[in-house]
Amino acid sequence: MDNTVKVFSGTKSTYLAEKICKNLGLELGKLEITYFSDGEFEVCYTESVRNCDVYLVQSTFPNSDNLMELLLMVDAAKRASAHSVNVVVPYFGWARQDRKSKPRVSIAAKLVANLLSVAGASRVMTMDLHADQEQGFFEIPVDHLFSSSIMVPYIESLKLKDLVIASPDMGGAKRAGSYAKYFDCPVVVGHKTRACANVISSMYLIGDVKDKDVVIVDDMVDTAGTITKAADLIKSQGARSVRAVASHCIMSGPADERVENSALEEMVFTDSIPYRGHCSKVKQLTCADLFAETIRRELANESISDQYLL
């Protein structure tokens, strides 16, 4: 990497940016964030970025200050004459609001995509959007990576005897089907109905799991209601073991307690979001190498397609 490539991090993603920089052989860039008494803040780069390819690492998980911080970082880099402003957003928040599910609601995923473009981003690099078609919300290039390149080797290392891949709901059936095709194994799907957001009224399982080692795959776990209910249901129907892998570790509210008390043997995430909880079953695998390699290939004008396992 030459000195025209610089990587900076937002406040809450420094842990990941440092790993990416180590992989690339770079020092993490320096910036200052000044906070005012009313909660407003200002972003300032303390080193020149003129004519540099700038990479800004920041997941937009709650609270919304993380998103605003990223937007100000983009704007400041553009105004400081950076050659390109590349936004690395391992976890793209607001992505669940990708359509009008009822009258008079916002489509937040599209709004955030617009904000990044208007702020001055040249390119977006992200992982496991809630829906693949959200790439179309952007008017700039999007590198949409998948955590399967991290999770597949981990699942292979477990050497499970009778593997079955499961989706906790119908929305994840395509993702589960891709894993099942790779491993040449059966797939089962949970069908759920919701009473309201984050509250499941009923669930039943489509498929056979008796005496099988089941791995549930998902894109994110928020309150863990769906994935733990699916795990308990799978175990009650005779599965030998149940574990889960998911890209994004939101784990809010009662999630820790639910996972700890569930039939899950382990809950494996990437580190797109830092885990602040205390559940003994949670394990994180780093996605830093995936993003670092993608940045390296992008700068060398090389294809990134062979990083996709599924």
Q: Catalytic positions, please?
A: 192
Q: How many CA atoms lie within 13 A of 248 on its CB side?
A: 25
Q: Are strands 199-206 and 187-196 parallel, antiparallel or unpaired?
A: antiparallel
136: exposed, middle or buried (C-beta count within 10 Å: 0-12, 13-18, 19+)? exposed
Residue 284 to residue 215: CA distance in whole angstroms = 16
Integer Cα distance of 221 and 218 in angstroms: 7
Residues whose CB falls within 8 Å of the CB of residue 71, separated by 6 or more in sequence, listed in order: 115, 116, 119
Amino acid letter, 39:
G
Measured CA to CA, the distance from residue 53 to residue 310 in angstroms comes to 30
CA of residue 200 relative to chain centroid, distance: 23
